[in-house]
Amino acid sequence: MYGKFLKGFLIALSLSIFIAPSLYSQKVLEEIIARVNADIILKSEFEAEQKSLREELAQNLQGQQLEQAVQQRSKDILRDLIDNSLLVQQAKEMGLNADLEVVKQEERMRQQHNQQNPNNQITSIDDLEKAISQQMNLDEFKQRIRTQYLRTQVLQREVYGRVQQNLTTEDLRNYYDAHKQEFDRPAGVHLREISVYINKDKPDPEAKQKKIDEAAAAVKKGDDFGEVASKFSESDNAQSGGDLGWFENGQLSKELDEVVGKLNKGQVSDPLKTSFGFMMIRVEDKHPGGVMPFESAQDQVYNTLFSERVLPKIREYLNKLREQGFVEVREGYVDTGAVKAK
């Protein structure tokens, strides 16, 4: 009943992390291809990731292009399995726990489904888990969420924060000046949202109205819109401050375009009644077309520079974990992340 939506979500989840290690309870009487400290990696895990990778790539490629892409990407499967194992182990040493994140992710998934499928609602987490179980092992699904959360938390503490601290406004300006033509954009608008959803099977419009009014009051008194979105919004972009991104002129619905058209940069709409509940919109920026000024392009410049700098730092940190720990790979398999002996 929920197959199409869930399949898309599960594929997105599998792509949002490198690769998630399976549960220890499944590691019985199977062929071991690698040891990572006290953890092990099985041949069945490796083969499952190969299959998953092919299915992912087959959505956009076929024939020789597909085979070449599979061959190229498969080289790093074992490396990513080892990397994730190291990060999850490090998270445990830090005392991190992801059980609450599983609950939050499932609720966000349920709300997203209900928003996109008003005539086919999932009314409880139990029903959601039953639907997930029809498409994949539920324990593995939850383990993927845990792994994604734990590895992100470790990298945030050990890598992301340090890279962010070293990115200066001068760095951003220098990159922008050297790449101005990359920021030639058509006319459009950058938006953020705060959205709350009404469950059609168990409608609670008064509670939802109260929630969006509380969010509106917080914004009105001067609280940061992104922080309010993280606290109140039920949309899947809540943790990114409700960021909806850029929309070219003509891409928004007629109703939303009329609302946005009356707002200037930095202004926020009143709470709006929608088909799924209530929402508020903030105009982060408006661009008339042409090369974006630095102030408008700054976030994009930041993201570009951050990505360029963070990837080698992640590898550096993972190399450190490898050097401090024990990694052994069975003959016949290749770990492309192996640290060369000094």
Backbone angles phi, psi at 40, to 5 degrees: -130, 155
pLDDT one-digit tens code per residue, 268-315: 999 999 888 899 999 999 999 999 999 999 989 999 999 999 999 999
- Predicted confidence at residue 15, as pLDDT, reads 43
Residue 268 is classified by DSSP as B
For the chain, list the domains and their CATH numbers.
Answer: 3-153+313-329 (1.10.4030.10), 187-288 (3.10.50.40)
Per-residue pLDDT at 135? 85
pLDDT higher than 80, residue 160: yes
State residue 99's pLDDT score: 92
Please count the CA atoms within 13 angstroms of the CA of 205 that sit on its side-chain side.
7
Which three-class secondary structure state does DSSP give residue 6? helix
Q: Outline where DSSP puts E strands in the chain.
A: 32-36, 39-42, 184-185, 188-197, 243-248, 272-273, 277-287, 290-291, 327-329
Whether the CB-CB separation of 137 and 23 falls below 8 Å is answered with: no
**3-class DSSP assignment, residue 249:** coil
Instruction: Determine the average pLDDT of the residues in 245-271.
Output: 92
Strand-pair partners of 192: 243, 282
What is the structure's pLDDT at 16? Answer: 44
Q: In whole angstroms, what is the distance from residue 182 CA to residue 301 CA? A: 10
Look at residue 74 and tell me whether its pLDDT is greater than 60.
yes
The pLDDT value given to residue 10? 47
- The predicted pLDDT at position 20 comes to 43
Report the percent of the chain where pLDDT is more than 90: 65
Range in 56-70, 104-118, 142-156, 176-190 with the lowest mean pLDDT: 104-118
Q: State residue 173's pLDDT score.
A: 97
What pLDDT shows up at residue 51? 92
What's this model's pTM, rounded to 2 decimal places?
A: 0.72
pLDDT at residue 237, rounded to an integer: 86
Q: Which residue has the higher pLDDT, 23 or 195?
A: 195
Residue 197: pLDDT above 80?
yes
Q: Indicate the length of the chain as a whole number.
A: 342
Average model confidence (pLDDT) across the chain: 87
What local confidence, expressed as pLDDT, does residue 264 receive?
Answer: 94
Phi, psi of 284 (to 5 degrees): -75, -35
Beta bridge pairs of residue 290: 185
In this prediction, residue 21 carries a pLDDT of 44
What gap in Å lies between CA 322 and CA 316, rounded to an integer?
A: 10
| 26 confidence band (pLDDT: 50, 70, 90) | very low
What is the number of other CB atoms lying within 10 angstroms of the CB of residue 160? 17
